[in-house]
Structure 1
Amino acid sequence: MHDKFGGLLVYAKRLGEQTARWGLGELPRWSLGVLFFALVRRVNLGVWVVVAWTRRASSLGYESSLVLLSLDEKLVIRGYSDTLNNLQSQQEQDGYVVESSRGYLIELWRTRESIWVSGLFQIPERLCSFVDITWLKKHGKRVAISRGGAFITASPKLGLQHLVLLFVQEEFGAISDVIEKSVTEYEKVSSEGETSFTCVMKFGGSSVASAERMKEVASLILSFPEERPIVVLSAMGKTTNKLLLAGEKATSCGVTNVSSIEELSFIKDLHERQEQRNEKSLFIPEEESYFLTACSYLSLRTVDQLGVDRSAVAKHLDELEQLLKGIAMMKELTKRTQDYLVSFGECMSTRIFAAYLNKIGVKARQYDAFEIGFITTDDFTNADILEATYPAVAKRLNGDWLSDPAIAIVTGFLGKARKSCAVTTLGRGGSDLTATAIGKALGLPEIQVWKDVDGVLTCDPNIYPKAEPVPFLTFDEAAELAYFGAQVLHPQSMRPARESDIPVRVKNSYNPKAPGTLITKARDMSKAILTSIVLKRNVTMLDIVSTRMLGQYGFLAKVFSIFEDLGISVDVVATSEVSVSLTLDPSKLWSRELIQQASELDHVVEELEKIAVVNLLQNRSIISLIGNVQRSSLILEKAFRVLRSLGVTVQMISQGASKVNISLVVNDSEGEQCVRALHSVFFESELSELES
């Protein structure tokens, strides 16, 4: 028996020539004081109990904090208990359940041959007399549920990162620690049966762009009766762009001139019925009608066509109207206000969709992501999700499901800043990140991202119509594709899925029968050469050569410290001891509010010229070849042969650290023809032809 070590207590017992199984348990935070004493005692069923008592500064006196049970080296349990004076144990099928009199329930399983694991969950004391264990097996999971509302679940054949955190649905709010378990045969399915969500289904703006599209998405969801999804939605169609434009126009034209905004007529004609506009004009000054038509653009026509009560969005329409008026009067649109403004798009689409599902008899519940635990940094317009998000989201969604099962409809793209508590956005395309974060939080078996294309394609179909779907991708390949311009995925959205090793399936909501693209941790690369070709336009390239001819220790460090100080991201890099060529991310370079494009580039060059000779080249494109770098020599050989035949000069070449990407820099005017020619060679020829 060891004393406490970092709050952990370890127990092991030697029996003759063999050592019994040992367990490791964590002491509750309040008990990290002086270890008082330990006692070994035995209960029925041949289960040995090791109880460690700790002193606690309260009227409760000494309380037990750790329990370890061992039986024939095959059965072990660990957990916490207030008191074990009345320990009881009972055999339940081929497992054991041990209860204490103070309301902590412990369950454990013995496997037939090899490994065991254990779990723990808490029942509030006032519910102890109502304990009634029901065992379920649903979708490959073993679940224990008590009448009091406490429950635990675990998935077999998966790593710990796949296990689901579930919570007691009482005001005590106790957390259930979930540990992997082996599963025995199905015994009983309760009347509730469906005890948790099974997948995330994310739909982009084009998938819910109109009332008709929303109906099709609803039918698509209902076509998978075996699924219990969490649905993540983007804003309808081009709503985000329209909101941003409305905010920008409001800052410059003033309230009295808003009716002359060019986009006003478009919004009215496209999204508001004529009789509604005529009715408004009788009572509302002309200069204010813009705000109301902007509101109507978001939802009124869709609400009417779906037959949903307008009260579903009335409050948000009023708030949006007031916000736009405030922006016009203040003549200012800060990043913080911009995030709040664009959040109305997702808030509207989810409320409309949830209301429609309820109207057709499908129970649904709407959630704003910033109200259910999505905690982010305070980087407005490009916030990042913090680790505290995951347990908070799991607690809220699983808790609501347990108390009142319903399809969850969650806003994508949004969060709440940790410091300011203001609404934040995750950057354009951040709804994908919302979906994968929910998948990680709940440990779901699959994340589905529904787009308007048949998965990830071999190139941009707008450049080359013969682009084909890619059936399989790795997370590394997907990350490179996203970073270098593929619009199907958000650059950061794969991170939660990769961390939890959860497959992501990209499918087409317009063509649900298409297999789409499955993104996993690894795939068979034996026959793969290229996966996809991505073109990133309007790139700025810098050639930087040191002005000193001696040893250049620290030269690269000085160069990159300049970019760090200026807050500028670098795309592609090629280096030597005395020179470096790199490209700048145009989306981040041009997004600044206080510095114009020309002056910012001048400032970059000015700082670099203090240590080097700088050659600035604009209007360049990056062609990224994503694929099997084990065949990089073959890829480069064929690529240079194709580009040479087109008379194209490659101005820079770089291979990424991920080992799945080779990038070539060419002139902007040459980029598209290069992509078409490369696609023809790599994707429209047999492997044997390429190797020859």
Structure 2
Amino acid sequence: MSSWVVLKFGGTSVSSVEKWQTIAAIVQQKIQQGQRVLLVHSAASGITNLLTEKTTANRSIQQAVTEVLTTLAAQLGVDPQQLEPSLDLLRSLDDRDHLDTWEQAQLLSMGEQCTHVLAMAYLQQHLDIQSLNPKDWLISSDHDKRATDAQILTAKCDIKPDPAKQQSLTGACYAMPGFMAGDSQGRTVLLGRGGSDTSAAYMAVLLGASQLEIWTDVHGIFSANPHSIPNARLLLNLSYQEAREIAASGGKVLHPRCILPVEQHGIPLLIKNTNEPAAIGTVLAAAHTPKKPRVSAINNRHQITLVSMESINMWHQAGFMGDVFNIYKQLGLSIDLVSTAQTNITISLDNIDNVITDAVLRELKQALSPLCEVEVFRNCSAVTLVGYRIRALADKIAPVLSTFADQRIYITTQSSNDLNQTFVVDEDQADKLARALHEVLIIEDKELDDFGPTWAELIHNQTSKSERIPAWWQDHRESLLDLSRDHAPCYVYHLPTIQHQIEQLQKITAVDRFYYASKANSHPAILAHMQAHGVNLETVSPQEINQVEQACPGIAAADILFTPNFAPLKEYQAALAKGVQVTIDNPSLLFDYPEVFRGHAVILRLDPGHGSGHHRYVRTAGTHSKFGIPASEVEPVAKWCQQHDIEVKGLHAHAGSGILDHNNWSRIAEYLGSCLELFPAAKIINVGGGLGIRENPGDFGLDLAQLNHALTAFKQQHHGIELWMEPGRFLVAHCGVLLARVTQTKWKGRQGYIGIETGMNSLIRPALYGAWHNIVNLSQLDQATEYTANVVGPMCETGDVLGVDRKMPLTQVDDVLLIANTGAYGAVMASRYNLREPAQEIIFPD
């Protein structure tokens, strides 16, 4: 009989009729090649996120889920009434105030189940295909000793080839939903977030498949997260062991648990791109073990919890570690990394395998306290190198780590099989460390085997010119070159691009008032443009208030928001006297000077407890940030304000900058909403800004529709509340470019350098934040790239680097380079360091 091939399609691959047409064609091709096919699929994109909102925030989701499913049904041309039995169960679960863990599993599986109903209705119009129930095939293990919640929500199955099951299937084509399984009593359990990969791997083993194919929206496994490191390279061939380590260390393409089953049974695993079925991908097989030392990938895992256990009694004490680890076993906690010293054991807990709550950590500390002193570090990240014989690369790794000497590396671990090395650092340092290691260990190594093109190259090739949305400067190349002849170095701002961003922002209809954070770019023309188009202005200094008043004559004081931080008292007094709206973020101001604020209405800036963003310097919440009133002070502040006739009319919080998770702002709103009962006069919730932009070609950017949906749901639960938002960079980053002439070029070994006439004195973001800006040779824009070079400035600083390893055409002195997305935090952060004048600012002529 023909061999089986298992095809798994992820959420983005099953969310439109075009994708299902592609799936049907792929399946038909396999059948024509004489193979039998099992199709395993995820839930349509976005549904599981919606379902999770019910389990995490108890937010009603039935309407939103129904809308997504009925829209997909209409696209597929199938009757949505077929969903009613499933939707009845969904509504029943959604109407409950509390769901136990079994009910959560049942609810979260509804995305796959409902998608399966629609998929079968569509596919049966095109294929002779039958449905399989995963609960009849995948049964959770009875030997799982983890916590009950983990057994239900991240279940494991004991799988081996089953000839009897294979013989029960007589057709050529079957389909089943992934992610879910059953326990021995027939109850629904889940295989963990992203567990459809595991479903497919389990089924490949059960069926004795000749091949497993994971179809997703990327070409395969890359050497790093390409959205953080655009020059990450595609890995063409990988051993199972390397792939398993990559997945377990934070790689997003494959679920960590899906590799071991196929590895144990020698089933090749292919990763393919649904958008380009004929394109190359990544192949996992035993034959692809490397022959010489290399690092194949560098990954980050965030939200790692470290537990440090200190005791002098462990020194030369037999069985001490066994006693300690037995406590973790009893609590059902799976340990990830372990580092030991004479009097200390430090371990890490990964959210992938553990449900880590405050209650769990309290119980852990209580159980460990008789044995040792316990300290918990949350919000850490693990940076992991994965490859072959990594110890042999110590001479290359050490210099990179030396540049992080002023940062804390909590633990370092290296596997005994020499396949990985991990550094646990503060979460805000992880991306920076990963980029530095990637440059040295992968990009600079020109002799690596089994590496394909970079992500940026694939995206460029994948997107046809007709599909690309050109940046404004691409249409004005000649005008910009003319400007550069007399004015370079210079920032050039394009007001129509700002108008486009304003229009995009106004699609967030849940927000009642937008305040532009003028610190992002305080050019008078930009301030005037914002105010003329319905965007109010937020300031952080008296000088910014004066700039706003001069740029916008006649502006109402209520349209100016003043949000200073650790500013002199007189600045607050002056703002209050003008009638400007004032935000306070330090309790001591109120406690020490109640007479200054008595009789005034103010907004309080609270600290939601955890910041977000790509770098610690753009994170504006959490204990390591200077901003906001901590949670422990909120109630005392509320009582104090009531006693001293200080009206609190609104609550504000801001997590950070460059955030692409649309749930960030709903989380802030929920936190502020939970504090409203302490402030009866408060009718304003200001969720801050920090909306991320599309930095690189191929980026998806922030989903504004999902953001609007989440904030709308919040407002529906808080009637009479006005929502404010303070975007800065989102409105102006794309409008600005920095033009500078090339002064020199140089080679040092294999490293090329392109020097330009200005540097960190004009644009400090790359040096300060590790920020990435697209850089092109505007003079040679249509020429093919020929080499890789660092783009540097003339400042007497090693850190004066504007771009690392950029692919450039043949570049000559006096060519003009353009640095994109510099309309925000460019000129406003410039200096006269080295007594060099920074770039001037020009409004692009219409």
Short-chain TM bin: 0.5 to 0.7
Determine helix, strand or coil for the equivalent of 1:651: strand
Q: Which residue of 2 aligns with 1:324?
A: 91
SS of residue matched to 2:304: strand
What does 1:206-245 correspond to in 2, within 5 Å?
A: 206-224=12-30, 225-226=32-33, 227-245=35-53
For these two proteins, the number of residue pairs brought into alignment is: 440
Q: How has the CA–CA distance of structure 1 residues 398 and 602 changed in structure 2, closer, same or farther, with 3 Å as cutoff?
A: same
Task: Describe the shift of the 1:682–1:213 C-alpha distance in structure 2 as closer, same or farther (beyond 3 A).
Answer: same
Render the CA deviation track for 1:327-378: whole Å, top value 9, x for unaligned: 52x4221221122222222222233223323223x2111222113x222247
- 8 Å CA contact 2:135–2:186 kept in 1: the answer is no
- TM-score for both structures, normalised by structure 2: 0.49
Deviation at 1:547, TM superposition (A): 2.3
The one-letter code of the counterpart of 1:317 is E
| Cα drift, residue 297 of structure 1 | 2.4
* 2:124 counterpart SS class: helix
In structure 2, distance between residues paired with 1:548 and 1:381: 37
Whether the 8 Å contact between 1:211 and 1:303 is mirrored in structure 2 is no
CA distance in 2, matches of 1:318, 1:472: 45
Aligned residue for 1:548, secondary structure, equals helix
Q: How does 1:187-336 map to 2 (within 5 A)?
A: 195-224=1-30, 225-226=32-33, 227-246=35-54, 252=58, 291=62, 294-298=65-69, 300-310=70-80, 314=82, 316-328=83-95, 330-336=96-102
Match of 1:553 in 2: 318
User: Quick check: 1:684 aligned with 2:440?
Assistant: no
**Matched AA of 1:321:** D
| 8 Å Cα contact 1:199-1:228 kept in structure 2 | yes
Other structure's SS at 1:678 match: helix
Residues 558, 332 of structure 1: CA spacing in aligned structure 2 closer, same or farther, 3 A cutoff?
Answer: same
Q: CA deviation at 1:521?
A: 2.6
Contact 1:552/1:577, CA 8 A, preserved across alignment: no
Q: In the alignment, is the contact (CA less than 8 A) between 1:559 and 1:608 conserved in 2?
A: yes
Q: Where in structure 2 are the equivalents of 1:220-619 lying within 5 Å?
A: 220-224=26-30, 225-226=32-33, 227-246=35-54, 252=58, 291=62, 294-298=65-69, 300-310=70-80, 314=82, 316-328=83-95, 330-360=96-126, 362-371=127-136, 373-377=137-141, 379-387=151-159, 390-391=161-162, 395-396=164-165, 398-401=167-170, 405-418=171-184, 420-548=185-313, 551-589=316-354, 591=355, 596-597=357-358, 599-619=359-379
Q: Distance in 1 between matches of 2:303 and 2:73?
A: 40
**Post-superposition shift, 1:639?**
1.9
Q: Which runs of 5+ in 1 are unaligned?
A: 1-194, 254-260, 264-290
Distance 1:344 1:549 in 2: 49
SS at match of 1:450: strand
Alignment gaps of 5+ in structure 2 = 143-150, 449-748, 752-846
Provide closer, same or farther for how the CA distance between residues 292 and 322 of structure 1 changes in structure 2, counting only shifts above 3 A.
farther
How many angstroms apart in 2 are the aligned matches of 1:319 and 1:451?
26
Q: Deviations over 1:375-404 (max 9, x none)?
A: 2247321222234x752xx54554332xxx
Distance 1:645 1:196, change over 3 A: same
Indicate the SS of the match to 1:308.
Answer: coil
- AA in 2 matched with 1:621: S
Give secondary structure in 1 for the equivalent of 2:257.
coil
Preserved CA contact (<8 Å) 1:497 1:504: yes
Would you say the 8 A contact 1:546–1:555 is kept in 2?
no
Residues 580-620 of structure 1, C-alpha deviation per residue, up to 9 Å, x if partnerless? Answer: 2221223555x36xxx42x4334333433322233433332
Residue 323 of structure 1, CA deviation: 4.0
Q: Distance in 1 between matches of 2:63 and 2:443?
A: 52
Q: Which residue of 2 aligns with 1:55?
A: none
1:449 and 1:506 in contact (8 A); partners too: yes
Q: CA separation in 1, counterparts of 2:317 and 2:344?
A: 10
**Secondary structure at the residue paired with 2:338?**
strand
SS at match of 1:359: coil
Structure 2 CA distance for aligned equivalents of residues 510 and 342 of structure 1: 27
SS of the aligned residue for 1:376 comes to: coil
Matches within 5 A, 1:32-71: none
Query: CA 1:323–1:686 in 2, change beyond 3 Å: closer, same or farther?
Result: closer
Amino acid at match of 1:212: E
Check 1:397–1:244 CA distance in 2 against 1; reply closer, same or farther (3 A cut).
farther
For 1:642 and 1:343, the matched residues in 2 are separated by 44
**How far apart, in 1, do the equivalents of 2:2 and 2:416 lie?**
39
Aligned residue among 387, 396, 399 for 1:627: 387
| Separation of aligned partners in 1, 2:408 and 2:54 | 43
Secondary structure, counterpart of 1:543 in structure 2: strand
In structure 2, give the amino acid aligned to 1:672.
D
Structure 1 runs (4+) deviating above 6 angstroms are: 688-692
For the residues of structure 1 that align with 2:325 and 2:231, how far apart are their CA atoms? 40
Judged with a 3 Å threshold, the aligned counterparts in structure 2 of structure 1 residues 668 and 323 are, in CA distance, closer, same or farther, namely closer
Q: TM-score, normalised by structure 1?
A: 0.59
Deviation at 1:472, TM superposition (A): 1.7
CA shift for structure 1 position 308: 2.5
Q: How many Å separate the matches in 2 of 1:573 and 1:235?
A: 36
1:265-290: CA deviation from partner (whole Å, max 9, x where unpaired): xxxxxxxxxxxxxxxxxxxxxxxxxx
Q: State, as a whole percentage, how many aligned pairs show the same letter.
A: 27
- 1:409 is paired with a residue of what secondary structure? strand
User: Counterpart of 1:376 in structure 2: which amino acid?
Assistant: S
Distance in 1 (CA, whole Å) between partners of 2:135 and 2:375 is 45
- Deviation string 1:96-138 (CA, Å, 9 cap, x unpaired) is xxxxxxxxxxxxxxxxxxxxxxxxxxxxxxxxxxxxxxxxxxx
Change (3 A) 1:307 1:454: same
Write the letter of the residue equivalent to 1:374. L
Cα distance in structure 2, aligned partners of 1:560 and 1:447: 37
In structure 1, the partner of 2:396 is: 638
C-alpha RMSD over aligned residues: 2.7
Per the TM alignment, residue 322 of structure 1 is displaced from its structure 2 partner at its CA by: 3.8
Query: 1:468-520: per-residue Cα shift (whole Å, max 9, x none)?
Result: 11112222222222222211112211222122111111111122223211112
1:654 to 413, 422, 427: 413
Distance 1:688 1:247 in 2: 49
CA deviations over 1:11-55 (Å, ceiling 9, x no partner): xxxxxxxxxxxxxxxxxxxxxxxxxxxxxxxxxxxxxxxxxxxxx
Partner Cα separation in structure 2 for residue 509 and residue 625 of structure 1: 28
Native 8 Å contact 2:47 2:65 kept in 1: no
- 2:600 matched residue in structure 1: none
AA paired with 2:157?
I
Matched-pair contact (CA < 8 Å) for 2:138–2:181: yes
